[in-house]
Structure 1
């Protein structure tokens, strides 16, 4: 199977019904989160998220949706919860647990999926449909594009005005989003107004994916790569450069569908991303592989070399570090499967 032969399409109605946690986080709950005893903020975050989810079912009835100024709901606390911390501290686990604990109807998606939803349905229709939910959980809240910043800020204002609770994760505090990427005062004002809608919960700690684990496995040769692809049913195998070109032809919101049903991904001839655009697409691709717990076996350069030193020192540093962390975990899974 070649991922480059796949061209997934997602209908507008399916975009709404697909707003649920990915397979890796389908069964997580607060009870399955194991706080690091050396990091008290982790146990505190479990309590904060649980209390937030518990508030959603109570209080006054939700306000009926009215676009452009429906008034603000008056819950016992902020309408938004923001989980801030480094990569690998379990923020997505906590976000998904919050979603599972909250009453239905509810929606869960990545920031990229949310912006794609608005593009597919139109702003008014997207707000109307999302306003029917009691909570919207947004993972990987990012500001890669100034237009997306303004769009999502406006969207969340309308949803919280309509009585929808919002929980989100990112690697940066709400009032610091965009730092190191944009300098426009207009966007900073938008970000500041959005940050006021959230209570911020800090989650500290080292990357749990690599605590006490050995170094990542080295790449394999091409013959071993091809033998593994033949051995594991449902595997895909692609030349890295061809896959990079294919990813450029798809909206990132379709990357999950691209790898649905794939048991193991094999990449031939991995090397450093040639530019920032390719790097960010690979970050989104790595996130979707991790969501679905799909092992990754590769030849060429180590996956840890996927992003150049210049990229790792730039404004998207945290994204690239998260991607390397997740790909390293998936490479370990592949090494175990190969054995």
Structure 2
């Protein structure tokens, strides 16, 4: 039987991972869950007594700083499972649940949380979340009842987070109503810190170019290489729901997204959209930024707003552009104001940008 430690050792031997003692210490908790889930899920009670479901294993809440390898460990865990599992970014999952809640209420369903939880638990045995965090009061009010019913249905939850459970929704509106969810997390999940001293994601970018000009074959090849290192070839669209509208990041994995300038700035987007994008990401690869000016003034304004949102959220940025930051916008209305954006683009190229984690 191949264990998670075996898989980890194989990846190290292949040169795909660097051995990290903190990561190795976290493997037994994930292996505990995997091993329990491979056992028969009903318990025989004798010839004349019905069998009953086996109590599901406790899940795991794995928290620690950015780039410590939490998502990589989750990849190994999901790969090892033989039961139905859904791997999803927590923010995207909650947006999906909010949309379903709105739909069911519109159909007159009196208590929509019950059918929502039932649909999820019927579809999967394990929910594997990336980056559990609560920033929205609507999510804070929903998540407690939803997860209580998921747990009661036997759904196993494994999640990563940058925050210890007690800091979830910290300083949020009506936070006292959210506190029972924190206690639920502590009861139903093993809480474990991944206390690695290394930021492996940052190490991948240390010394590497993060701003490419001109946009040529060499730049595209290097961005492709970095993207593969960050995602290992795993990607899917991320759909964010912002005030009833859908905002799509076409290529996404583990808090890392890739999009073109046109996809993010050539569409009708506003500050709320860019704030939602920044909230969902740790790193953005933005390609094919053109020269800006009178001819594409609206796109330029959106670009400025996007960079401001990424800067304030301390999201790492990799860019390919037609020119250096100071020469992207040299004429037309807004050229003077763009100097601040150019300065921010320069600052975001520094090796330590993105620290400390937000």
Identify the TM-score tier after normalising by the shorter chain: 0.5 to 0.7
1:114 has 2:79 as partner:
no
Alignment correspondent of 1:47: 28
User: Who is 1:281 aligned against?
Assistant: 277
Query: Residues 153-302 of structure 1 correspond to what in structure 2 (within 5 A)?
Result: 153-182=144-173, 184-203=175-194, 204-211=196-203, 213-214=206-207, 216-218=209-211, 220=213, 224-225=214-215, 251=245, 254-256=247-249, 258-259=250-251, 265-267=259-261, 278-284=274-280, 286=281, 296=287, 298=289
Question: C-alpha displacement at 1:298, in angstroms?
Answer: 4.5
Query: CA deviation digits over 1:70-109, x for unaligned, max 9?
Result: xx9734x52x211101111121121232222222222221
State TM-score, norm by structure 2.
0.56
User: Over alpha carbons, which structure has the higher Rg?
Assistant: 2
Aligned position for 2:352: none
RMSD, aligned CA? 4.2
Distance 2:273 2:159 in 1: 24
Q: Which has the higher strand share?
A: 2
Unaligned residue ranges in structure 2 (runs of 5+): 1-6, 44-52, 102-112, 225-239, 292-302, 321-358
- 8 A contact 2:85–2:126 mirrored in 1: yes
Going from structure 1 to structure 2, the CA distance change for 1:119 and 1:47 (only over 3 Å counts) comes to: same
C-alpha change, 1:193 and 1:57, in structure 2 (3 Å) is same
Aligned to 2:340: none
How many residues get paired?
A: 249
Deviation at 1:205, TM superposition (A): 3.0
Mark the CA change 1:175 to 1:105 in structure 2 (over 3 Å): closer, same or farther: same
The CA distance in 2 between the partners of 1:207 and 1:48, in whole Å, is 21
Which runs of 5 or more structure 1 residues have no equivalent in the other structure?
Answer: 1-28, 63-71, 236-245, 312-319, 332-339
Instruction: Classify the secondary structure of the residue corresponding to 2:127.
Output: strand
CA–CA separation in structure 2 for the residues paired with 1:295 and 1:283: 16
1:29-178, aligned counterparts within 5 Å?
30=8, 31-32=10-11, 37=19, 39-58=20-39, 60-61=41-42, 74-75=55-56, 77-78=57-58, 80-122=59-101, 123-132=113-122, 133-178=124-169
SS at match of 2:190: strand
